[in-house]
Amino acid sequence: MKVAFVVPWYGEDVMGGAETIARTTAENLRRCGIEVEVFTTCSKQFLSDWTDFYKDGLHEVNGVPVKRFRVDPRDVHLFNEINLKLMNRLPISLAEEQRFIANSINSSSLCEYISRNRSNYVFFFIPYMFGTTYFGSRVCPERSFLIPCLHDEGYAYLRIFKQMFEAVRGIVFLSQPESELAGRIFDLDKTTVSVVGAGIDSDVDFDQARFRRKFNVEDDFILYVGRKDQTKNTPLLIDFFCKYIELRNKRLKLILSGPGDVQLPSRHKDSIINLKSISGQDKHDAYAAALVTCQPSVLESFSLVIMESWVCGTPVLVHDGCKVTRHHCVKSNGGLYFRDFEEFTGCLDFLTENEGARKKMGENGRKYVLDNYAWEKVLQRYAQLLDNFTGERGASLSYGGPTGRHRQTIR
């Protein structure tokens, strides 16, 4: 039985949590011996118009076969008009819902390929709100699983998505709060529901001194990793940080890393370091060097960022309004959470003044990741899900980690 991950865009240089989870899961399942392929479009990212960045046909990315299909033309103006309403949680009609999804990222040729080869694959569609998932899963819902990456947002309450969630064979959730949110919105009594999580590379090297030397950072700093925009609450973090250093008069910096632009107060330009996206070694070194990693977003279904920070032994600070990240902090005892500036101040005071407690939270967080989201744990859950689908039992996978070392059998 082959496994196909269906995603709007795919590649090593594609940013985003859902896209990263799709790619790393596909790669690690394939390393276990499961025949995994990826079906995607020729688009590179979410753009304001439709475009084919890649050539269609068969490609290979990190050992995974990737079939790319041409993007359908769409009415960009109409899509943006309806999307703006949804982003502001304004009501829309069923006709507008249908026009919205019809003018999302779609590929008729991708759906046709799924239809012709439906008996050969189990399909995993990620994330939920794009045309590739909506129309692709309708081709053969009995063989389709969603990895929705669901947030409590306007899109989640559309009637078209209610139909989709309730029609597929199963849903793979990244966290328990995400599963509970879906249970409140949709009727999933007849749907296979699995909380699988996302795999995290734990065998990573990190050196805080190396980061400080390379980027010339001497002071303690708060680290932010992710898209710099309103939807991720980056402006709120900048505002709270500036107020905090004014209030406490501390030598503390905020380092921002990720795509996007944000407005930085001129009076605090020396306290905020605005980096472009850092990846690989620099990112792990930054986590290790940080006083704390702050994830202020309230729209998360898992948060790779806080898991990566914990792997490097650094605690996290999250927004109380995000049930997912707050859940991780409570379960792990690896971080703190805030609702407003007063609580933000209290959390930072505690973290800056209690080195022993801060290090212990980092250790707790690392243990939480290893116990729950090490690759062998997550792959075992996928193996069980596939066993249940095929009716087989006792399948075993041989997994050697991202680098092929430390090979073990997963049963």
Per-residue pLDDT tens for 8-27? 999 887 778 899 999 999 99
Domain match, 195 and 255 both:
no
Give CA–CA dist 177/299, Å, rounded. 12
The more confidently predicted of residues 308 and 16 is 308
pLDDT for residue 149 is more than 90? yes
Dihedral angle computed from the Cα positions of residues 335, 341, 346 and 348, in that order, rounded to the nearest 10 degrees: 60
Which tens digit of pLDDT belongs to each residue from 47-63?
645 677 889 999 999 99
Domain match, 87 and 142 both:
yes
Mean pLDDT of the chain: 92
If you count them, how many residues does the chain have?
Answer: 411
Instruction: Write down the pLDDT at residue 6.
Output: 98
Give the Å distances, CA to CA, from 59 to 11, 41, 45, 68, 69.
Answer: 10, 12, 17, 7, 11
Domain match, 336 and 388 both:
no
Domain of 82 in residue numbering reads as 2-199+374-410
Give CA–CA dist 106/109, Å, rounded. 9
Instruction: Write down the pLDDT at residue 237.
Output: 97
Instruction: Write down the pLDDT at residue 239.
Output: 96
Contacts of 1 (CB under 8 A, 6+ apart): 35, 120, 121, 122, 386, 389, 390
Domain match, 78 and 142 both:
yes
Domain match, 298 and 247 both:
yes
DSSP characters for 145-165?
A: EE-----SSGGGG-HHHHHHH
Q: CA 307, 376, 23 angle in degrees (round to 5)?
A: 65
pLDDT for residue 376 is more than 80? yes
Provide the number of structural domains found in the chain. 2
Which tens digit of pLDDT belongs to each residue from 270-293?
999 999 878 789 999 999 999 999
Q: How confident is the model at residue 338 (pLDDT cuts 50, 70, 90)?
A: very high
Rounded mean pLDDT of 189-195? Answer: 93
Quote the pTM value: 0.91
The CATH number covering residue 283 comes to: 3.40.50.2000
pLDDT for residue 186 is more than 50? yes
Which tens digit of pLDDT belongs to each residue from 109-126?
999 999 999 999 999 999
